[in-house]
Structure 1
Amino acid sequence: MSQVIAFDFGLARIGVAVGQAITQTASPLDTLKANDGVPNWTQVEILLKHWQPKKVLVGEPFNMDGTDQEITLRARKFANRVHGRFGVQVEMVDERLSSAAARDELFEFGGYQKIKKSQVDSIAAALILESWFSNQNS
């Protein structure tokens, strides 16, 4: 497996990152705009054709106690649609605290005032991907 793409699902924005399984590195890509959780599917198709991932990861948001959030079912539905539309293997990944960690990381590199929400979403997707790589090694 070489390329892996991760999505940090949201109702207004969907963060995207690509990773390389050999080096186990992740890089944030441009964030997709979404309308009530629905992306421009053509943009998703372009991403998948360009990167040709062997696997797609979708962040699965849980409450801190492990229970589902209101958005958890929407993220699963998005993952099912990605699989159904494009025939790629999709795996859900626990994303607890990924957005908070992304904000912390951005703050560390330039101050919170300069942070764009779209950067937070794509960095969160990269953190989801890095977490997945780390769990693959365990």
Structure 2
Amino acid sequence: MSDHRRFTSVPIPAGRVAAVDYGRKRMGIAICDAERIIASPWPMRQPTGDEKAEAAFFKRLVAEEAIVGFVVGLPVHADGSDSKMSVEAERFAVWLGETTSRPVTFQDERYTSVEAAGMLAGLGLSRGKKKARADSIAAHIILTAWMEAHASPRLGDGVAIHEPPQRPGALDG
């Protein structure tokens, strides 16, 4: 059994968060604004295989974009059981946290690739361009799902607002 469950409740402080759709050949990245309202996909990253270069990239991302934490997509099977890639994503998450000194949590990424492909299907892009964008769109979907799951109630989101009682005669002229 995988150990990813220990990451699921890791708190991430207020601020910008980056999501990573981890893959051996391609990594999708998305980053949200500090208020965690809008997530934006970033260009797909091809891992170099050079750990120092990867560390430099993620450290630079943290510094330049003021990233306070990471969400890594967790690739589990449809029934929720661990996949071979779950273990790799876990290893990557541990490495990412140690490398950047930022908290890392997971978000279930089931069907994000299918959803990303559906979003790209009608755009008239070549197969290569779709492939290059699919991982970043998947990271965007992962981050959006995480933001929705961790959103604070905002005015207008069904939160009851207490009105102070009217003083008797206050509206009488």
Per the normalisation by structure 2, the TM-score is 0.72
Confirm whether residue 7 of structure 1 aligns to residue 30 of structure 2.
no
Q: CA deviation at 1:117?
A: 1.6
8 Å CA contact retained: 1:16, 1:122: yes
Number of residue pairs the alignment of both structures matches:
138
Superposition CA RMSD, Å:
2.1
Provide the residue aligned with 2:43 in structure 1. 30
What's the CA shift string for 1:32-52, capped at 9, x where partnerless? 11257x672222222111112
Please show how residues 1-138 of structure 1 align to structure 2 within 5 Å: 1-34=14-47, 40-111=54-125, 113=127, 115-137=129-151
The share of aligned pairs that are identical, in percent, is 29
8 Å CA contact retained: 1:59, 1:95: yes
Q: CA deviation at 1:103?
A: 0.9
Per the normalisation by structure 1, the TM-score is 0.89
Distance in 2, matches of 1:111 and 1:92, equals 30
Distance in 1, matches of 2:92 and 2:36, equals 28
Query: Would you tell me which structure has more strand in proportion to its own residues?
Result: 1
Q: Any gaps of 5 or more consecutive residues in structure 2?
A: 1-13, 153-173
Distance in 1, matches of 2:122 and 2:111, equals 16
Higher gyration radius (CA): 2
8 Å CA contact retained: 1:57, 1:129: yes
Distance in 1, matches of 2:97 and 2:132, equals 24
What's the CA shift string for 1:32-86, capped at 9, x where partnerless? 11257x6722222221111121221100000000011111000010000011111
Task: For CA contacts below 8 A with separation 6 or more, give which structure has more relative contact order.
Answer: 1
Distance in 2, matches of 1:110 and 1:46, equals 34
8 Å CA contact retained: 1:83, 1:90: yes
